[in-house]
Amino acid sequence: MRFPVSFSVFVSIFIFTIHCQKQIVPQEEISRYVPNPKIYIQKEGMAKRGSFVGMEPYLNKYSYATEDSFYLALNEYFRMAKENELLFVDRSIVVLPEYIGTWLVVTAEDKSIFATNTIQEAMEVLVKHNLGSFLWHYLFSNSYSSDTLKETLFRMKAWQMSDRYQSVFARLAREYRVSIVAGSIVLPHPKVIEGKITPTDGPLENVSFYFHPDGRVDDQMVRKLFPIVDEKEFLKEGKLEENPSYQTPLGKLYTMVCADSWFPEVYKELKKTESELLAVPSFVSPADAWTTKWQGYNGYANPKDVDPKDIGSISERAAWKKYAMSGRLKDPKVKAGINVFFRGEIWDLVASGDAFLTLTGKSVLNLVKEEKNQGRIYVLYL
């Protein structure tokens, strides 16, 4: 709690908020503006015991307008995968990108949010339409962050976000009978209590959940260990020894969230778990990030094996290839690895990046050619 406020003042704010009735984006408008992506499919391997599938849906702000629009946007890729016989009942694992659940912060909010042009404007309108709740959380909730406004916004929407996130991914897992590494979502130190993702009053974390083919969310979750500079302002890092591996029909699965895949100590932990599969959900922006010169580790000292000549010399893409999963995954027990990236335009934020794949200890060439509004599906047969 930051400072006391009278009950009458809070009631006045609450009444004001009630009068600001929300008008949800009409379905016709969502249908008009939601992406109609071209979906690229790349298949690798000959075995048919199961499939390890990376999906990079192309999304925009309207993909998150309602829970149904979010489900339909993702379902298009699952449907395409099923039609092309890429999924096996109870023997497929689907990996989705980092932060795919985070934009649920705007779901079912007033349509005026979606008429804005920038994330900053959208968040300001979001606060306006939830002023009572925002002020309540700002005044009375625990704070762990230097960016208290962003922290308050996500804390205010945490229960709705976690409910919709679990609802959509549990539904997709059940309907297609597949396991899902559901990218990641920002929530306040969540726990799974009696089968339900439950936010707490702890610090915000970037968290990845695993869903079983029957729709159950696993009790254990993966917390991002190495948030980059921009994330450190509002996110708390996880603890390496607490991140789990998952027992799946295709073998043990380990997850590294984005920047975690750059650090040697995480691969040592991977080896200890004796995992056979590695999932790396990631997010890179802006649009030209992939071609800009790499500036070294973001917010951390460079590990000893980093060549100083690479800093300011090689591209971001080349650095990902050399110092993340493709370059660091040496464990022969890991038979497949998938590193997928968020794709799309969320207001003025444009995400980029191309997936990296490994199969039977060797890097697999990504054959994709960039196209506008392009979604991607990568399949490694095991």
Q: In sequence order, what DSSP letters do the residues of 54-87 get, joined into one string?
A: EEE-EEEGGGGSSHHHHHHHHHHHHHHHHHTT--
pLDDT exceeds cutoff 60 at 67: yes
Query: What is the C-alpha separation between 168 and 17, in angstroms, rounded?
Result: 28
Query: pLDDT tens for residues 114-172?
Result: 999 999 999 999 999 999 999 999 999 999 999 999 999 999 999 999 999 999 999 99
Q: In sequence order, what DSSP letters do the residues of 18-32 get, joined into one string?
A: HHS---BPPHHHHHH
Computed from CA positions of residues 216, 258, 359, 273, in that sequence, does the dihedral angle turn out positive or negative? Answer: negative
pLDDT exceeds cutoff 70 at 9: no
pLDDT grade for 20, boundaries at 50, 70 and 90: low
Which position has the token pair 């029909």? 249
Query: pLDDT tens for residues 188-245?
Result: 999 999 999 999 999 999 999 999 999 999 999 999 999 999 999 999 999 999 999 9
pLDDT exceeds cutoff 90 at 373: no
SS3 state at 141: coil
The predicted structure's pLDDT at residue 339: 98
**CA-wise closest residue to 318 among 330, 303, 332, 306:** 306
Query: What is the C-alpha separation between 223 and 226, in angstroms, rounded?
Result: 9
Note whether 69 and 62 are within 8 A (CB).
Answer: yes
Mean pLDDT of the residues in the chain: 94
Query: What is the C-alpha separation between 317 and 338, in angstroms, rounded?
Result: 16
Query: pLDDT tens for residues 349-370?
Result: 999 999 999 999 999 999 999 8
Q: What is the mean pLDDT of residues 312-323?
A: 98
Q: Residue 103, Cβ neighbours under 10 Å: how many? A: 23
The predicted structure's pLDDT at residue 211: 98
